[in-house]
């Protein structure tokens, strides 16, 4: 059972643009009360561009496509599970609430008929995955559902090269939005180039149309140059974060949350501000893509 907010369902029925938003960034990615403010801001960016927001989460076991004020309060202010696709049946059976990851959000968006999804950074292959086999479910799910995921690349704490290789293996098209260089989350650029670039939302929509029966695409949208983190400082903070995780013996799915929290503190909040800026930019681009998609 899926509960679709009436505003979202009305927009889908009348071919008006809708953009899905994840809830993990609200519950686990940002500190309180900044997370609640950001959630409202992301939705308002979409509304200001004539697009209906569909923030997705599981509330008392039921996937909600679009949140009312009460549901948003649960996500922002209660300690709830971080839910990927594998967790959805468990939350449903137990009647529990959960914030959806990129994988779960894309999966549920597709079920509702939403074709565009904005996030911060895509999950990927973790460093050292050749020993740990630690790879995000985001990659597999995006290969399976017809959703365009707009992200600022993958978090730079991950193995970007291995992530791009896995996306190729899974036959997921990765298109740079007005760039041919894969972005690196807090940084505008990584060391990796892309084969394909799209210079307009309309071009992305046409790629979506051609791809729709096969699965999703990744739209790699870099953080604006003036908003990006300074690379030397970024590299220094990341190095200390990895050393701290190793010293603390952090393993598995706890690694990324540990690193991100450490980086926020070690950067004096700079990483958090860049995270918000890149997310805003992704939401804005996703709005344009959803609008172009409806025109098709």
Does 138 carry a binding-site annotation?
yes
Concerning whether 3 is annotated as a catalytic residue, the answer is no
Q: Name the packing angle between helices 69-77 and 34-48 (round to 10°).
A: 140
Distance set, CA 118 to CA 10, 247, 251 (Å): 20, 34, 28
Cα 72 to Cα 33: distance, rounded to the nearest angstrom = 12
82 is in an annotated binding site: yes
136 is an annotated ligand-binding site residue: yes
Q: What burial class does residue 78 get, using C-beta atoms within 10 Å of its C-beta: 0-12 exposed, 13-18 middle, 19+ buried?
A: exposed
* Dihedral angle, C-alpha 18, 221, 184, 34, nearest 10 °: -40
Helix runs in 57-101, H state only: 69-77, 88-94
C-alpha atoms less than 13 angstroms from C-alpha of 127 in its C-beta half-sphere:
13
CA-closest candidate to residue 276, choices 200, 185, 201, 178: 185
- Any known ligand binding at 102? yes
Q: Any known ligand binding at 248? A: no
* Active-site residue flag, 22: yes
Burial of 34 (0-12, 13-18, 19+ CB in 10 A): middle
- Is 159 annotated in a binding site? The answer is no
One of 22, 43, 135, 188 is an active-site residue; which one?
22
Distance CA 148, CA 286 (A): 9
The tally of CA atoms less than 13 A away on the side-chain side of residue 277 is 18
| CA–CA distance, 273 with 247 (Å, rounded to integer) | 27
Catalytic residue among 37, 155, 168, 265: 155
Q: Residues marked as binding for substrate?
A: 82, 102, 136-138
Query: From the annotation, which residues make up the binding site?
Result: 82, 102, 134, 136-138
Annotated binding site for Mn(2+): 134
What positions carry a catalytic annotation?
22, 155
């Amino acid at each position: 059972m899926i509960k679709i907010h009436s505003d979202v369902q009305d927009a889908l029925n009348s071919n008006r643009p809708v953009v899905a938003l994840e809830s993990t960034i609200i519950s686990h990615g940002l500190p309180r009360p900044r997370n609640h403010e950001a959630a409202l801001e992301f939705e308002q960016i979409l509304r200001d561009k004539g697009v209906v927001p569909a923030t997705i989460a599981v509330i008392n076991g039921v996937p909600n496509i679009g949140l009312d004020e009460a549901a948003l309060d649960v996500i922002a202010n209660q300690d709830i599970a971080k839910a990927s696709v594998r967790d959805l049946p468990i939350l449903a059976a137990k009647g529990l609430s959960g914030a959806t990851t990129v994988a779960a959000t894309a999966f549920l968006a597709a079920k509702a008929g939403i074709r565009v999804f904005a996030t911060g950074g895509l999950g990927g292959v973790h460093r050292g995955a050749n020993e740990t086999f630690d790879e995000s479910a985001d990659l597999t799910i995006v290969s399976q559902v017809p959703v365009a995921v707009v992200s600022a690349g993958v978090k730079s704490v991950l193995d970007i090269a291995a992530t791009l290789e896995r996306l190729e293996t899974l036959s997921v098209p990765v298109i740079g939005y007005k760039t041919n260089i894969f972005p690196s989350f807090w940084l505008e650029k990584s060391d990796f180039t892309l084969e394909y670039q799209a210079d307009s939302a309309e071009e992305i929509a046409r790629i979506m149309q051609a791809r729709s029966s096969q699965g999703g695409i990744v739209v790699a949208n870099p953080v604006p140059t003036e908003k990006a983190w300074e690379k030397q400082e970024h590299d220094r903070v990341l190095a200390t974060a990895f050393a701290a995780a190793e010293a603390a013996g952090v393993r598995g799915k706890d690694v990324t949350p540990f690193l991100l929290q450490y980086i926020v503190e070690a950067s004096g909040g700079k990483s958090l501000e860049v995270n918000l800026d890149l997310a805003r930019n992704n939401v804005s681009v996703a709005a344009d893509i959803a609008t172009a998609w409806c025109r098709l």
